[in-house]
Structures are given as structure tokens and as C-alpha cells.
Amino acid sequence: MKTLGQFSVEHFLEHYWQQKPVVLRQVFPRFEDLLTPEELAGMSLESDVESRLIQYQSENSQWHLNTGPLSESIYSSLPENHWTLLVQTIDEWLPEAHELLEHFNFIPNWRRDDLMVSYATPGGGVGPHVDQYDVFLVQGLGSRRWKVGSPNQKVTPSFPHPQLKQIADFDPIIDETLERGDVLYIPPNTPHDGVAVEACMTYSVGFRAPSHHMIYEQLLDDILSEEEFSSPRFKDVSPNRAFKTQALPSQLMDWLRASLASISDEALIQAFGKLVTEPRYENEPFEDSLGRAFKNIGNRPFTLQIDPQARVTYTECNQQFFLFINGESVLFSTRYQPILKKLCEYEQIHGKDLNNCLQDIEFVNEIANLIDKGWIIFIQM
């Protein structure tokens, strides 16, 4: 995608990305829906698909929420308007979804969260709310009216239902109706409210924006996975004086701060890398040991490539090369950096380019492990 409607990608990134919302007209002038409303409803019946059905009863101003898996009977009892079906992570189940996501590949893969698809009847919506991530809302079938406020404006939380976090009315800076092929971009912490003008389908391409809290949680998980005996314990200083009172010792703060200071750059970067590449659903490892075939490749030609659906990123830290893929961290020697960078950019690597790497058993074992998990595709000629 060279342009986003009326803007070039470069103009959009410089003036709008994570700064302010914007309507992008006819980004997809011939947009075709990826599935029908009936097919979307069928997905919501599956136990391993995350879905929600949100209804609004205008006569008594009541909101209702049903979470999946839904039943066929619930659809037969629905009114003709004021309800919305939302199905998460369509890209995990529908191969055609990846063609749509590829249009937003000017943003790194590790930032992408998922593709959510919603079907709404006239008047349907989820109410005014604020999200903590970037999102592109692609309009398919029908039309939807959007009101969008300015980023970070003060809003009043509202809970019309225990599981629905909404906000009170806000002052919109955008009040427009999206037609098929239009796109609305909304940055994090921006109030918005979309209401179906007619029966419509909307495709939400979300991008992750991890918080400090989320990083702390991942970091704590990593620390707690280490052996407990390796964790330094508190030691008393001058017990003859300290034990004369029940007060905490004066040197305690230094010890506590030292525990935080002991967290290495590697630990921090690994927590971030694992968090941002963590898939929503666990992938089952391959049953065939393709990794064993890779180890015994000999002189036969082959190619390697990262699975296009894998979440992957990389970085260098303190003379080490970290590859993060699907929530895991893999450490490699920096001498393999050129090959690994190409791999992480989803480029195909030919076996002849790996001659030196294949002499390193640690490199071979790590790649073989990723092949067995299905995260690297190994094709033997």
C-alpha cells in the first residue's frame, strides 16, 4: 500500500500515527467482505473462538452481554436492530484475513494484535468507550456513523453492565459516516462511538501498545521461573543494635533498591520481546520432527523461512543477538546476525548461505527446535 486514502503512508505516519484520529476515504475502493454475517455467526458457536454479543434495549436503556460460545437459539430470539456480534482473532481462523492485514505491513509485525470482525444491525454498537491500542477500522458491508473525540481528553467512566466499560458522552472532533472501503484510524486513549446506520460489517485491525505494568508482569514471571535459591536474601547488619527495636532496619531501603538495580538490560529486553510476540492462542507443535531432518541435512539443498503467521522481532543487547518469536526468546551469537535478520524479515534463506552456521551445533539445535514448533518452515529440495 503506497497510500492510505488521501495520504501517503509517510504523511500518515508523520502527522497522524499515535497523534490524532482521521477518516481515510476509499483506502479499499473495491473492498469485498471476507465472510458473510451468517458465517461470522457460525464462528461464534465454536468453543475455541472468542466472541461477544452485545445488545442495547432502547425502551429501558439496558445493555446485555453474552460471551461465546453462543448458541443457535440466541440468534432466533434477537430483534431486528440494536445488537452487535464481535469475533476476535479472525486471522487465526481465516487465511483470507492475512491479505487484508498485509495492507498495513508498513507497521512492524510485532506491533500487530489481531483482526476483529463485527456485524451490527441498525442502531447496533458497543457504546462510547476508550481503547488502549491503535486501531484501523475498515468498513465493509453497509455503513456506520462514527463519533471520535480528541486523544487523551478527560472522560467519565460508565458501567451500564458489569462487563462493559463505557464512558459518558464526549465532545467529538469527528462525526462522519463510513461507507464500504473507508477506513477510520483511532490512536490509543481516544474516545469513540460507532453506531450502525444499516446492517454492517467492520474489520478492526488492532496494534499492541504494551504498558509498563504489562512489562513488570512479564518480568516478574521470568524472575519467578528462575531457581529460588539463586535469589539473594536479606542479611542483618549490626544485629546488636537493630534487634533492640521492632522497627525495620535503616539499611533496608538500600537492599530493596539494590534488588531492582540487579535487573539486567537483558532481562528487561527479554521481557519486552516475549510480551510483544506472544500469540493470543498457543500453537500446537508439529508432530513430524522436521528439526531432526534439518540436523541431518548433509549436502542436500534446502530453504528456511519464518512462518508468515509467526510474531517475530529481534534486537542486539550487550554483544548478544536476541530473536523473539511467538512469546519466546532465543539467544544467538552475533556472528550470525546477518542471516538471522534476513530470517526475521521473512526473507527466504537458502542452505548454501548457511554453510558456516551449520558447523555450530548450538545454532543448529536452536533452529531445529524452531522448525519442530512450526515457527520456521524447512523445505528440503
Residue 138 · residue 198 · CB < 8 Å: no
Helix (H, G, I), strand (E, B) or coil at 224: helix
Q: How much is the pLDDT for 286? A: 60
CA distance 381 to 98: 27
225 and 187 in a single domain? The answer is: no
Q: List pLDDT tens digits, range 145-158.
A: 999 999 999 999 98
Domain membership of residue 282 (yes or no) is: yes
- Specify whether 217 is located in the same domain as 127: no
Q: Which of 172, 207, 242 is the last residue of a domain?
A: 207
Residues 45 and 165 in one domain: yes
* pTM (two decimals): 0.87
**Separation between Cα atoms, residue 114 and residue 119, nearest integer Å:** 17
- How far apart CA 293 and CA 181 sit, in angstroms, is 46
* Cell, residue 94: 481465516
Q: Which cell numbers in the block locate residue 81? A: 436492530
**Same domain, yes or no, for 49 and 109?**
yes
For residue 95, which of 307, 295, 297, 278 has the smallest C-alpha distance?
A: 307
Residue ranges making up the domain that contains 162: 3-207
Instruction: For residue 239, tell me if it sits in a domain.
Output: no
What are 95-144's pLDDT values in tens digits?
889 899 999 999 998 999 999 999 999 999 999 999 999 999 999 999 99
Overall number of domains in the chain: 2
Is omega for the bond preceding 69 within 30 degrees of 0, making it cis? yes
My answer on whether 141 and 43 are in the same domain is yes
Q: DSSP assignment, residue 319?
A: T
pLDDT digits (tens, 9 = 90+) for 161-190: 888 899 998 999 999 999 999 999 999 999
Is residue 240 situated within a structural domain?
A: no
Q: Are residues 46 and 188 in the same domain?
A: yes
Instruction: Please tell me the total number of residues recorded for the chain in this structure.
Output: 381
- For the cut 80, the answer to whether the pLDDT of residue 21 exceeds it is yes
Give the single-character DSSP code of 129.
Answer: B
**Residue 342 CB contacts under 8 Å (≥ 6 apart), including other chains:** 349
Per-residue pLDDT at 204 exceeds 90: yes
